[in-house]
Amino acid sequence: MLALLVHDPALVSRTMVEDVLRYKRLDGVRAALEAIAQAWFGGGRQKRNLVAEISAISAPVQIIWGRDDRIIPVAHAAAVGSKADVHVLDDVGHLPHMEKAGEIVRLIRRSIASS
């Protein structure tokens, strides 16, 4: 399942798997994850309209998306339109902060500097 989160499955190391399993065993984590899933995706469908919520934000919004995201397809970025500064990164899946950390830092710094 972790391989679905990244563009390059080689990033899914034994340490990553062990860390995720350790995290999921912490008291309360299972219940918290189930509550989040129910609140956001109850009945197997997304419940919240994030485009509308982004439109309501008065502060600058930056969205960074991986072109190879297999969890939330990059086609969803088009729905945001001009409401946010959207960056789509090549060779990146659902975890851009892990796969291209340096690029993410650069984009965030640039966004802060222009605010």
How does 53-90 read in b/e, with b if 16+ C-beta sit within 10 Å? Answer: eeeeeeeeeeebbbebbeeeebeebeebeebbebbebe
How many domains, in total, are found in the chain? Answer: 1
55 pLDDT above the threshold of 90: no
> First and final CA of the chain: distance in angstroms?
38
Which residue range is the domain that position 46 belongs to? 2-114
What's the CATH number where 77 sits?
3.40.50.1820
The count of other CB atoms within 10 Å of the CB of residue 2 is: 13
Q: What is the pLDDT of residues 3-48, one digit of tens each?
A: 999 999 999 999 999 999 999 999 999 999 999 999 999 888 888 8
Q: What is the pLDDT of residues 67-103, one digit of tens each?
A: 999 999 999 888 887 889 999 999 999 999 999 999 9
- Phi, psi dihedral angles at 32 (to 5 degrees): -65, -45
pTM of the model: 0.82
